[in-house]
């Protein structure tokens, strides 16, 4: 009998969510195990070189780290429900929203989890105890909490973050009241990207999930639907497949506009920071982006968040995700290209596709600088 895929992850982990939801939709035999599992600590983690989840071990023993790389690994061997639309507009929109979920909603997700720790202590203590031995869980939680300033979570930004969450839920709700997924009757890489923060933190932790259930019930259902092993459509029109004619409806464009409000300025400033850093460093192809694999943030970039002064930590991984959206952007021609440029400009996201020489690749489970 073929052994199952093993996913090392945790229910409350933002980046495990997309990998788990995707693997379930593929109907692949799979078990999920905690990173406390001795096989993980003894055999898998030493190969990865840092303490990080999710990690996939395939039936033939290959090891894949990274939520995006896990999905792409399965795609490459033929997925029953590919996350990549064939239509170039839809594919670009899906990549853009993956960027939003993977990078742009971290501030919100971490704010709601840790600013409201006192109101959610029983839930979070219970969750983190599953991922670390007693005693160590408190240290992990303190480390997570210490990331807030570099994520731009400060007293002055908190009301703005919360307004942003409400606005995003309103935009998602308008779309998901009509459609099961972002681009029709099946999930795309954009759905999986947004699922990360909207499930693990914002859809499970008591304070934000309560807001979601009360104000955005169709969005909450979309989370359940993405997490199910099937398409889970009893309450929706049985419209299977992508929307016709490569359509990206106005309700999805509205979510992209929310993306721009949430992360447009910081995206531009972080990318400019990375470019300047890369120029200064002039790294060789394949050089790790940081001295140690667990060091993810290279520095702080001054920026703006919804009109307020801001300062945010810069992670080269961002570029890895941006490059994917840019690849999809380059595939658009003629009217489709003009549509994308107009959407990016309206959203304040024109940093996507701007000229740049810095490139980030992932090799041997870590991020490295790449020369063209
Ligand atoms: N780019 C990675 C990010 C993974 C990641 O940040 N995982 C978190 C859990 S959601 C983690 O393992 N954090 C450990 C730490 O920061 O010490 C991916 O997409 O898989």
Show me where the domains of the chain are located. Answer: 5-76, 88-369
Q: Are both 5-76 and 88-369 of the same fold?
A: no
- Give the per-residue pLDDT at 214: 98
- Give the per-residue pLDDT at 164: 98
* Six token digits for residue 159: 């009301």
Nearest to 69 by CA among 79, 81, 54: 54
Q: Is the CB of 146 under 6 A from ligand 1?
A: no
CATH class label, 88-369: mainly alpha
Task: Calculate ∠ Cα 213-218-219, nearest 5°.
Answer: 70
Under DSSP, the state recorded for 284 is P
- Give the per-residue pLDDT at 372: 73
* Six token digits for residue 150: 């570099």
* Six token digits for residue 71: 């999905």
- Give the per-residue pLDDT at 344: 98
Nearest to 127 by CA among 197, 204, 52, 51: 204
Segments of the chain with pLDDT less than 70: none
Return the H-helix or E-strand segment holding 138.
helix 136-146
**308-314/299-305 β-pairing:** antiparallel
- Give the per-residue pLDDT at 150: 95
pLDDT tens per residue across span 282-341 = 999 999 999 998 999 999 999 999 999 999 999 999 999 999 999 999 999 999 999 999
- Whose C-alpha lies nearest to ligand 1, atom 9? 13
Q: Which atom of ligand 1 is nearest to the CA of 52?
A: 12
Radius of gyration of the CA atoms of the chain, in A: 20
pLDDT tens per residue across span 354-368 = 999 999 999 999 999
Among 15, 73, 361, the mutation site with the greatest number of ligand 1 atoms within 8 A of its Cβ is: 15
- Give the per-residue pLDDT at 305: 98
- Give the per-residue pLDDT at 134: 75
Q: Which atom of ligand 1 is nearest to the CA of 144?
A: 16
Superfamily of domain 5-76: Glutaredoxin (3.40.30.10)
CA atoms of 194 and 103, how far apart (whole Å)? 10
Q: Which atom of ligand 1 is nearest to the CA of 53?
A: 12
- Give the per-residue pLDDT at 237: 76
């Amino acid at each position: 009998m073929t052994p199952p895929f093993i996913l090392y992850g945790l229910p409350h982990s933002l980046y495990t969510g997309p990998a788990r939801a995707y693997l379930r939709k593929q109907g692949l035999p799979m078990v999920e195990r905690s990173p406390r599992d001795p096989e993980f600590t003894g055999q898998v983690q030493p190969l990865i070189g840092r303490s990080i989840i999710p990690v996939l071990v395939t039936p033939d023993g290959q090891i894949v780290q990274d939520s995006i790389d896990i999905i792409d690994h399965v795609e490459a061997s033929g997925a029953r429900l590919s996350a990549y639309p064939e239509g170039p507009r839809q594919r670009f929109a899906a990549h853009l929203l993956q960027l939003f979920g993977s990078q742009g909603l971290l501030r919100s997700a971490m704010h709601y989890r840790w600013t409201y720790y006192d109101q959610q202590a029983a839930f979070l203590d219970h969750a983190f105890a599953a991922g670390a031995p007693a005693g160590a869980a408190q240290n992990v939680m303190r480390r997570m909490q210490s990331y807030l300033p570099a994520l731009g979570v400060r007293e002055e930004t908190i009301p703005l973050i919360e307004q942003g969450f409400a606005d995003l839920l309103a935009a998602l709700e308008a779309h998901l009241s009509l459609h099961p997924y972002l681009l029709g009757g099946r999930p795309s890489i954009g759905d999986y990207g947004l699922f990360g923060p909207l499930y693990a933190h914002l859809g499970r932790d008591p304070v934000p999930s309560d807001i979601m259930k009360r104000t955005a019930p169709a969005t909450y259902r979309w989370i359940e639907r993405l997490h199910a092993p099937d398409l889970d459509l009893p309450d929706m029109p049985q419209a299977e497949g992508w929307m016709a004619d490569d359509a990206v409806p106005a309700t999805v464009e509205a979510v992209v506009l929310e993306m721009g409000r949430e992360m447009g300025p910081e995206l531009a400033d972080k990318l400019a920071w990375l470019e300047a850093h890369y120029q200064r460093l002039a790294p060789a192809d394949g050089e790790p982006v940081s001295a140690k694999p667990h060091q993810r943030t290279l520095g702080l970039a001054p920026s703006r968040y919804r009109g307020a002064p801001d300062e945010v930590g810069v992670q080269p991984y961002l570029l890895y995700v941006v490059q994917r959206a840019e690849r999809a952007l380059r595939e658009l021609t003629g009217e489709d290209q003009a549509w994308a440029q107009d959407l990016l400009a309206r959203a304040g996201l024109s940093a996507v596709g701007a000229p740049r020489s810095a490139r980030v690749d992932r090799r041997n489970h870590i991020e490295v600088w790449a020369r063209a």
